[in-house]
Amino acid sequence: MLSRRGTLASLVAGLFAAGMARQAHSETPPMADPTETIELWPAGPPGGEAVTAAEAVIERGDPKGLRDRALVHTRKPILTVFRPKTPNGAAVLLAPGGGYERVVLDKEGYETARWLADRGYTAFVLFYRLPGDGWAAGPDTPLQDAQRGIRLVRARAAAMGFSPDRVAIMGFSAGGHVAGSLTVRFAAKVYDWVDAADDLSARPDLSALIYPVITMDPTFMHAGSRKQLLGPNPTSEQIALYSPDKQVAADLPPVFLLHAADDPSVPVTNTLAMFSALRAKAIPTEMHVFEEGGHGFGLRFTQGKPVAAWPTLFEAFAQRHGL
């Protein structure tokens, strides 16, 4: 475990484990972690007066020996930047999973960002704050970071070589809930104005929800994520507000949905419910449900399975919708 002092600074100086690039569909040798970051809240994130937990990076271990790190108790949320050699004019903000107890670095963050950058997308990995750490905004804390993050991405579009109206969000598992919440609540006022970036829209131009946590309904919720987000006894109003499928409106961007039917952690019903809600509002959406794949496969646990096709399916969907 590393202390926060130098967590991401030293973290980004390390190397991916041998073989990671091959598992992530890249033929290049392992590359150094990125060194470019963007701090979301230069004067400090809002509502942190009661937060005492110490931020740390943990090495979780992996059965195949691949690097598998996670950030816990995020105190200083940032965007980690992956610049493509040949920009295609679009950007993707990534929200990795972690059950709202941690934010995964490698599997759903850096590996996916590298895959996107290899295809011309400027990628940003969002290390968002966690609602159980005592932030004043409670369950809106991750949404604060997602809104602020996408606005900062747009504010840097011209300087970084992409269009401000070609910015997507992609989220995995609980990060899929972060992305889904941003998709349906991009206009919600969840923090006070900080600077000119906050004059920009927080609406993503496209959303990709990968084995996402969607519902807070106890019939098919992910219990851990709901407990971290809403506590043990949420009200019916909270359950509805923090279930993205219950907040779908007619002004949402196109949405790409992916899940494995045999997911043992987040029931596939989450994705099915979101698809139905989107279709009811005539939102352009595409859903892929694969027979097998389990949960948390990202890019590294797909080889030899039909679900390995998902990145290409996403890229085709994104290109059809202007990304």
Amino acid identity at 295: H
Structural contact between residues 92 and 168, judged by C-beta atoms closer than 8 angstroms: yes
Q: Tell me what pLDDT residue 5 has.
A: 38
Residue 109 lies in a domain: yes
Structural contact between residues 135 and 47, judged by C-beta atoms closer than 8 angstroms: yes
Residue 195 lies in a domain: yes
Q: Tell me what pLDDT residue 15 has.
A: 30
Residue 181 lies in a domain: yes
Domain with 150, as residue range(s), is: 35-53+74-320
Structural contact between residues 103 and 71, judged by C-beta atoms closer than 8 angstroms: yes
Residue 24 lies in a domain: no
Q: Tell me what pLDDT residue 62 has.
A: 67
pTM of the model: 0.88
Q: Tell me what pLDDT residue 63 has.
A: 65
Residue 295 lies in a domain: yes
Gap between the Cα atoms of 65 and 30, Å rounded: 14
Over the chain (323 residues), the average pLDDT of each successive run of 10 is 41 36 40 87 95 92 77 96 96 96 94 96 98 96 98 97 98 97 98 98 98 90 82 93 96 97 94 98 97 86 85 96 95
Q: Tell me what pLDDT residue 43 has.
A: 94
Task: Find the farthest-apart pair of alpha carbons in the chain and give their distance in angstroms, rounded.
Answer: 50
Residue 132 lies in a domain: yes
Identify the CATH number of the domain in which residue 96 sits: 3.40.50.1820
Q: Tell me what pLDDT residue 26 has.
A: 38
Q: Tell me what pLDDT residue 75 has.
A: 96
Give the strand order in the sheet containing 56-59.
2-3, 56-59, 69-72, 103-104
Query: How many domains is the chain built from?
Result: 1
Q: Tell me what pLDDT residue 31 has.
A: 54
Residue 175 lies in a domain: yes
Q: Tell me what pLDDT residue 185 has.
A: 98
Residue 247 lies in a domain: yes
Q: Retrieve residue 87's tokens.
A: 């920009």
